[in-house]
Amino acid sequence: MLSVEGLTIAADGVELVHDVSFAIAPGERVGLIGESGSGKSLTALSLMGLLPEGVTASGTARLRDRDLVGVPESRMKDLRGSELAMVFQEPMTALNPLMRVSTQVAEVMTLHGVPRDKARARAAELLGPVRLPRPEQVARAYPHQLSGGQRQRVMLAIALANGPGLLICDEPTTALDVTVQKQMLDLIAEVAPALLFITHDLAVVASVCERVLVMYGGRVVESGPIREVFTRPRHRYTEGLLAASRLTPRGTRLPTIAGSVPAAGTFPGGCEFRNRCPHADTTCEQPPALTGEGHAHACWHPADRG
Partner 1 sequence: MILYLLKRLGVFVASTAVAGVLVFAFMAVLPGDPAEVALGVNATPEAVAALRAEFGTDRPAVTQFADWFGGLVTGDFGTSYVTSAPIGPQIAERLNVTVALVLGGMVIALLIAVPAGTFAAVHHRNPVGAAISAASQVGIAVPAFLAGILLVFVFAVKAQALPSGGYVPIADDPAEWLRSLLLPWLSLGLVQGAVLTRYVRSAVLDVMRDDYLRTARAKGRGRMGALWRHGLRNASVPVVTVLGLQLATLLIGAVVVERVFVIPGLGDLLLNGVAGRDLLLVQGVVMVLVAAVLLINFLVDVAYAALDPRLRGAR
Residue numbers at the binding site for partner 1 (CB under 8 A) = 48, 50, 53-54, 73-74, 77-82, 85-86, 88, 90, 93-99, 107-108, 111-112, 142, 144-145, 155, 158-159
What is the smallest separation between the CB atom of 82 and partner 1, expressed in angstroms?
6
What is the smallest separation between the CB atom of 154 and partner 1, expressed in angstroms?
10
What is the smallest separation between the CB atom of 295 and partner 1, expressed in angstroms?
33
What is the smallest separation between the CB atom of 94 and partner 1, expressed in angstroms?
5
Give CA–CA dist 139/135, Å, rounded.
6
Largest CA-CA distance found in the chain, in angstroms, rounded: 66
Q: Which of 98, 178 has the CB closer to partner 1?
A: 98
Q: Which of 94, 261 has the CB closer to partner 1?
A: 94
- Over its C-alpha atoms, the chain yields an Rg (Å, rounded) of 20
Q: Which of 160, 205 has the CB closer to partner 1?
A: 160
**DSSP for residue 248:** -
Give CA–CA dist 7/21, Å, rounded.
6
Q: Which of 152, 223 has the CB closer to partner 1?
A: 152
166 strand-pairing partners? 84
Which string of DSSP letters, residue by residue, matches 24-57? E-TT-EEEEE--TTSSHHHHHHHHHT-PPTTEEE
Q: Which of 157, 277 has the CB closer to partner 1?
A: 157
Give CA–CA dist 120/9, Å, rounded.
38
Indicate the burial class of 8 (C-beta count within 10 angstroms; 0-12, 13-18, 19 or more): middle
What is the smallest separation between the CB atom of 151 and partner 1, expressed in angstroms?
11
